[in-house]
Chains A and B, each alone.
Chain A
Amino acid sequence: MYLGIVKGTVVAERKAAGLEGTKLLLVQPVDEHGTPVGDLQAAVDRVQAGEGDLVYLVGSREAALALGEHPRAGGGGAPAGSARGAEAASPRGIAPWFVPVDAAIVGIVDGVDAPKQAPTSAKGNSR
């Protein structure tokens, strides 16, 4: 998981199955001081974040899990992202529907308690 700042929105009319109705935002990954790290990316929003918000995201396969079970897989409406939803999915033997995303905003950050620090060496990618 990593921090990011919402920079804007992405509008896409034609999307892959599973992405219908999802809100896509442009996010700049940042460090704990708000310094940009790496390149801008598009992420699915799960928490109604707005432009300028400091958020945290989850990447890779877990981003698809943030969207929960897809209605088409038998979840019946709202994404069941909670543990309860996961348990409910298993007994019915329904495999989670994996939405093709690799970044999802899963929280709006209210504060980070990080001491001020001199800039360190080159930042790489470690998510």
Chain B
Amino acid sequence: MRCCRVVGPMWAAVKHPAFEGRPLFVVQPLDDRGADVGASFVAVDTVQAGVGDKVLVLTEGTGARQILKMGDIVPIRSIIVGIVDAMETSP
């Protein structure tokens, strides 16, 4: 899982049926100090996250399928599974 910042929502009218009715967000991975690191990616939201929230993103398909409970043939790989309240790291 990765700690990310929610960059913003995304819309797509034409999409695979598995994404029907599922909110999509662009998320940006963060490092231990909360700075952007690496490339942003797309994730399905399951926790009603908002723009700017720090979130926990699962980026593994099998886990995502188990949480979404949509069967075994679902092309969803990254989902937002938590909203981070605080992150502490030793200096």
Count class of interface residues, chain B: 35 or more
Which residues of B lie under 8 Å from residue A32 when comparing CB positions? Answer: 7-8, 26, 40
**Nearest-CB residue, chain B, relative to A37:** B39
**Nearest-CB residue, chain B, relative to A89:** B73
A123 to B9 CA separation, bound complex (whole angstroms) = 21
A2 to B91 CA separation, bound complex (whole angstroms) = 32
Tell me the minimal C-beta distance from B45 to chain A in angstroms.
12
A126 to B40 CA separation, bound complex (whole angstroms) = 8
A1 x B76 contact (CB < 8 A): yes
Interface: A6 (CB within 8 A): no
Total A residues in contact with B, Cβ cutoff 8 Å: 50
Interface: A107 (CB within 8 A): yes
Interface: A81 (CB within 8 A): yes
Which residues of B lie under 8 Å from residue A126 when comparing CB positions? Answer: 2, 29, 38-39, 41, 59
Q: Which listed residue, A37, A106, A127, touches B16 by the CB 8 Å rule?
A: A106
* Residues of A near any B CB (own CB < 8 A): 1-3, 29, 31-32, 37-38, 46-48, 56, 58-63, 65-66, 68-69, 80-83, 85-87, 89-90, 96, 104, 106-115, 120-121, 123-127
**Listed A/B pairs (30) with beta-carbon separation below 8 Å:** A1-B77, A2-B39, A2-B42, A3-B40, A3-B41, A32-B8, A47-B15, A56-B10, A58-B75, A65-B73, A81-B18, A81-B73, A82-B18, A83-B17, A83-B18, A86-B70, A89-B71, A89-B73, A104-B75, A106-B19, A107-B24, A108-B13, A109-B10, A112-B8, A113-B8, A113-B51, A115-B8, A120-B35, A126-B29, A127-B41
The 9 closest A-B pairs by CB, nearest first: A86-B71, A107-B15, A66-B75, A107-B12, A86-B73, A113-B8, A1-B42, A83-B70, A106-B16
* Residues of B near any A CB (own CB < 8 A): 2, 7-19, 24, 26, 29, 35-44, 51, 59, 61, 70-78
Add 6 more A-B contacts to A58-B75, A108-B13 (CB < 8 A): A1-B78, A3-B40, A56-B24, A86-B74, A96-B72, A127-B77
